[in-house]
Amino acid sequence: MKVTLKVWRQKDKNDEGRFVDYAADEVSPDMSFLEMLDVVNVGLVKKGEIPIAFDHDCREGICGSCGMMINGRAHGPGRGIATCQLHMRSFQDGDEIVVEPWRAQAFPVIKDLMVDRTALDRIMQAGGYTSAKTGGVPDGNAILVPKPAADEAFDAAACIGCGACVAICPNSSAMLFVAAKVSQLSILPQGQAEREARVENMIAQMDEELFGGCSNTYACEAECPKGISVRHIGRLNHELLRAKL
């Protein structure tokens, strides 16, 4: 199959950037989207041109580093997958595919499709941890956790911090990310020590990073590769109110 790529090329955060067209020929439907970009980059290098810069690491939908907007969708047209899990069979022969970086004030462009997502790391540093000494795995299992609570915490912990919720939100809100991290720890007994301080500090850091506010469009839940539910945002609001009171 053959596709035409319209890729956002930008030298750094100070560059205006522009879309550049690339023809991708002899694309196998079984290629992942990142493998297709690899092939395009090999062709660019052979011609002496600068390859397209994009983030990737595990390529297994775990690390969350491969995020990009594809035809206006975070991670592309697939549901419940990251960009690295998207395959070219999701497109038709002759399609034009528009590829952009995450668009958010808190995510400045590093180069081309790569953005700086360290704002999410700083939110985690503000309170996304527990000081409880849980020891090794056997010691951790000594603290009994009801299965419904364990399942709910695990669902929240599935967040990979890719930033898709921010990129697709019309307000560039990080509420779903913060909610998942706060929810995960507030449910578990090990997370009770910092429960009040955690939610206040993480939300304060989120505001400092210039993320927008949540207006309940549910776009974040729809585009989240791990299917994190917006009900965690409800828990986040509850936890903040509890901390204030």
- Domains of the chain listed by start with CATH number: 3-111 (3.10.20.30), 118-244 (1.10.1060.10)
At 164 the pLDDT is 98
The mean pLDDT value for 70-82 works out to 96
At 235 the pLDDT is 95
- Degrees, nearest 5: CA angle 188-215-17: 105
φ, ψ at 92 (rounded to 5°): -105, 155
Provide the 8-state DSSP code for 74.
E
Residue 111 bridge partners (DSSP): 114
Cβ 41 vs Cβ 24: under 8 Å: no
At 199 the pLDDT is 97
- Degrees, nearest 5: CA angle 21-25-26: 160
At 155 the pLDDT is 95
Model confidence pLDDT, tens digit, residues 13-30: 999 999 999 999 999 999
Model confidence pLDDT, tens digit, residues 210-223: 999 999 999 999 99
